[in-house]
Structure 1
Amino acid sequence: MNAVVAAVAIMLVLSLCRIHVVVALIIGAVAGGLISGLSLDATIAAFNEGLGGGATVALSYATLGAFAVAIGKSGLAHALADKALNLVGRQDDGKAAGGIRLLIVGLLLAIAMSSQNILPIHIAFIPLVVPPLLYVMAKLNMDRRLVACVLTFGLITPYMFLPVGFGGIYLNEILLANVGDNGIDATDLNVMSAMALPALGMLCGLLVAVFFSYRGDRHYNLDAIARTERVDVTYNGGTLLMALVAIVAAFVVQLWLGSMILGALAGFVLFNLSGVVKWKEADDLFTEGMKMLAMIGFIMIAASGFAEVMRETGDIATLVEGSVSAIGDNKALAALLMLVVGLLITMGIGSSFSTIPIIAALYVPLALELGFSPLAIVALVGTAGALGDAGSPASDSTLGPTAGLNVDGQHNHIWDTVVPTFLHYNLPLLGFGWLAAMVL
């Protein structure tokens, strides 16, 4: 049995059985290494070597957590909650509540999409923007699974369709570059035309989530949110202004220096200097914030170790080659198998950006031999890479939403983020990606 398939399957099954994701990743990595023929020592060595790859992201989450707690201390969370609740008016006014729900969805969608291109900060905004809205969403009985789907859509669709920001990296520097390196002249290809149908599949998944799957009420413990958001905090114009200045400063520093860590630290230091966070409280607040997002950081570290073991087994290439040998001359089957293999690889390593170079070397020559057009090949490879970014327990696109939605412990990473995003995005993306490969 292919070690990558076995490792990903074990990791996913354990996660679905509510075994902690970190434990599931470790067990899956060890099982995959042993199945591939690696010794236990070699498997552990590969896992340990890969751990460093997730350290930067983990520390970024820790500092963002501290910054988010400082924002809560400023009273911005309560100001947002009060404003939104005033807009709702009476809590039994269902029409008003529905309008505020859509307003929140639209706001988060716009910010998430902007984080990929206009202000390329990726997931850094989530711990800062989402926790202050939890109290409002709970008062509206708003299902957090809907918010997870909205955020994941905003984190993925722009980079797989719009060639700016992170999309410029994914579409131009990775997708078109790898397609060009393997035998296709990509100079005049319109990458947006190639990825339009897959992006439409993502949009269909979002619409189903918003207007069908999660339009009903879901109840959350307001007391738990109140404890997280510090109900004893009072705010005024000065503290709110300082919070906005700190947020802007954090984003500017991140864009300037390219570091989420330094950006979050800059914002936290501003809160200290302004007096919003007292010096004697700073240490405790920083520790509290780090604890809040520590779980996400550990998952990212374990995921990097898992990915390194998968690479060390050599079975990623075997998986791709095996699917190629099973295809024959059936174009429809070829497109489907290539997409499914891309899904498995990305689900395991948690990065669509890393999947493209792995699969392009074999997919492009095979697709040319089977008679796919250059545009169809771009759509096929691009979709195969993006598949699995949503719905992977170890992906930024699922870990980011969980980081914001689970600050009060009422949002399960697997069942409330991973499973909903997998069902609403990977299934339509698989179908629309296959359609694009067949009709372009």
Structure 2
Amino acid sequence: MEWVVVISVLVLTVLSLLRVNVIIAIIAAALTAGLMSGMSIVESIEMMVSGMGGQASTALSYILLGAFAVAISYTGITAILVNYLIKVLTGRKTMMVLAIAGVACLSQNLVPVHIAFIPILIPPLLKLFDDMRVDRRGVAAALTFGLKAPYVTIPAGFGLIFHETIQNGMVENGADITIGQTTLAMLIPGSGMVIGLLIAIFITYRKDREAVSGAGGSEANFTVPPTENVTFNRIHALTLVAIAGALIVQIFTQNLIAGALTGLVLMFALVVVPFRNGDQVMADGIAMMGQIAFVMLVASGFGKVLEDTGAVSALVEMSSSFLGNNQALIALILLLVGLVVTIGIGSSFGTIPILAALFVPISLASGFSTLATASMIGTAGALGDAGSPASDSTLGPTSGLNADGKHHHIWDTCVPTFLHYNIPLIVFGWIAAMVL
């Protein structure tokens, strides 16, 4: 039983590396876990489907945020940002990639649209990337950094949800902790991500690279979106009001759906977007985010299979049974177990409750402090967002960078982000467990 998690995740990883569609790969991994646990194929499918509701709220919020992002783009305000980047950063590759990382950071805490901004911002820049021979793997690393590091370290916007999820998971398993303490616990792992970003931009992907047509699976019939000269006007000011309203509601209600709905309602109420365009905005939002939302649903079903079969518990028990009280080794094993579990599921928010139920008893029994335990749980959860084929933090960057069919999801997004973020997260998460 203890090898079910390892083998099923290996199935997912191998199929993804062989360029099998990520949804098919996740289903195959879930069926593998079910069959190895003694269930039939039908029982495995039923358990997977029953678990898909675990990410239903997240999937719906992504679709609504996608519609919100489409409404924002309708005003032309994103063209102002794109034109500014093109004007100021043309010929300055490193600064452009750093600027993209900075813009991505805003999507987690200040303007909570998460990955919905990528298909709007990145495609107009693809021709510029090609002209400047920018290595798109570095851009993918920058985007994933911006989608992860802010919520890992800052308890605002998506970050507030992440830190509260850690807090609730620990409290439910007998370890009292505050949001301030979870923030402190995640500072060291978060700094590891900063180092990974700098290595990716200034060392690994600094050299020129030609994008290859068809690398993303097809020869896309791609036309560069227009970036006409747009000046800031009243509509743009009202758009900022809608964005601020969505942010405020999301923070106070701690509900992404409520925030996205507020933003959409304000866009129509303020006549930023004509009401007659409502159907088109929703349709475009679903087209933009629908596949990613469905991947999250299927990944949640995979997590349900792993959890209900007892495979994760068995893996942790096997890992800890022969370790005794060696804290250094226990911390490393728990982080590696977290990597195996979360990279298969691809959702840090969805796996935190599972990890807390497993990590808290073992950590407290082994003498780890509350801060060290929180650091290990948060780090293990964050590992699922970098490098996982099923993660929105890798699916999002690919959705923008592969608009012209020149960027492969696994080799150009997942592998680079795995190397530059999961390795530093494990190292710095282990250090945090030792010093906190």
Asked if these proteins are the same fold (TM beyond 0.5), I'd say yes
Q: Which residue of 1 aligns with 2:252?
A: none
| Structure exhibiting the larger radius of gyration computed from Cα positions | 1
Q: Which runs of 5+ in 1 are unaligned?
A: 89-95
Is 1:133 the counterpart of 2:111 in the alignment? no
Question: Hey, what's the Cα distance between the residues in 2 that align with 1:185 and 1:287?
Answer: 44
Q: 1:230-257, CA deviations, whole angstroms, 9 ceiling, x for partnerless residues? A: 45x866548x875775576367457646
Question: Hey, what's the Cα distance between the residues in 2 that align with 1:61 and 1:409?
Answer: 23
Say which is worse superposed, 122-131 or 335-344, in terms of deviation. Answer: 122-131
Distance change in 2, residues 1:29/1:182 (3 Å): closer
Q: Which residue of 2 aligns with 1:198?
A: 189
Question: Hey, what's the Cα distance between the residues in 1 that align with 2:368 and 2:4?
Answer: 30
- Provide the secondary structure at the position in 2 that maps to 1:116: helix
Indicate if the aligned counterparts of 1:67 and 1:265 stay in contact, CA closer than 8 A. Answer: no
Q: Which of the residues 385, 389, 393 maps onto 1:393?
A: 389
- Structural RMSD (CA): 3.7
Q: TM-score, normalised by structure 2?
A: 0.82
- Provide the secondary structure at the position in 1 that maps to 2:108: coil
Q: Which residue of 1 aligns with 2:404?
A: 408
Letter in 2 for 1:299: V
Say which is worse superposed, 120-129 or 387-396, in terms of deviation. Answer: 120-129
Q: 1:68-108, CA deviations, whole angstroms, 9 ceiling, x for partnerless residues? A: 677777776776665544446xxxxxxx612xx34433333
Is 1:337 the counterpart of 2:329 in the alignment? no
Is 1:379 the counterpart of 2:375 in the alignment? yes
Q: Which of the residues 150, 161, 170 maps onto 1:179?
A: 170
TM-fit CA distance, 1:430: 0.7
Q: Which residue of 2 aligns with 1:92?
A: none
Question: Hey, what's the Cα distance between the residues in 2 that align with 1:323 and 1:205?
Answer: 28
Distance change in 2, residues 1:182/1:74 (3 Å): closer
Is 1:167 the counterpart of 2:159 in the alignment? yes
Q: Which of the residues 352, 356, 373 maps onto 1:356?
A: 352
TM-fit CA distance, 1:35: 0.8
Question: Hey, what's the Cα distance between the residues in 2 that align with 1:274 and 1:215?
Answer: 46
Distance change in 2, residues 1:288/1:363 (3 Å): closer
Q: Which residue of 1 aligns with 2:91?
A: 97
Letter in 1 for 2:46: A
Indicate if the aligned counterparts of 1:77 and 1:131 stay in contact, CA closer than 8 A. Answer: no
- Residues 252-291 of structure 1: matches in 2 within 5 Å? 252-253=245-246, 256=249, 258=258, 260=260, 263=263, 273=274, 290-291=286-287
Q: Which residue of 1 aligns with 2:142?
A: 150
Is 1:10 the counterpart of 2:11 in the alignment? yes
Q: Which residue of 2 aligns with 1:318?
A: 314
Q: Which runs of 5+ in 2 are unaligned?
A: 250-256
- Provide the secondary structure at the position in 2 that maps to 1:164: coil
- Provide the secondary structure at the position in 2 that maps to 1:228: coil
- Provide the secondary structure at the position in 1 that maps to 2:91: helix
Q: 1:103-124, CA deviations, whole angstroms, 9 ceiling, x for partnerless residues? A: 4333332333233223333333
Indicate if the aligned counterparts of 2:78 and 2:120 stay in contact, CA closer than 8 A. Answer: no
Distance change in 2, residues 1:318/1:244 (3 Å): farther
- Provide the secondary structure at the position in 2 that maps to 1:97: coil
Letter in 2 for 1:258: A
TM-fit CA distance, 1:438: 2.0
Q: Which residue of 2 aligns with 1:35?
A: 36
TM-fit CA distance, 1:434: 1.2
TM-fit CA distance, 1:33: 0.9
**Share of identical aligned residues, percent?**
46
Q: 1:145-188, CA deviations, whole angstroms, 9 ceiling, x for partnerless residues? A: 212211221222222222333333323x2323433444445369
Aligned pair count reads 423
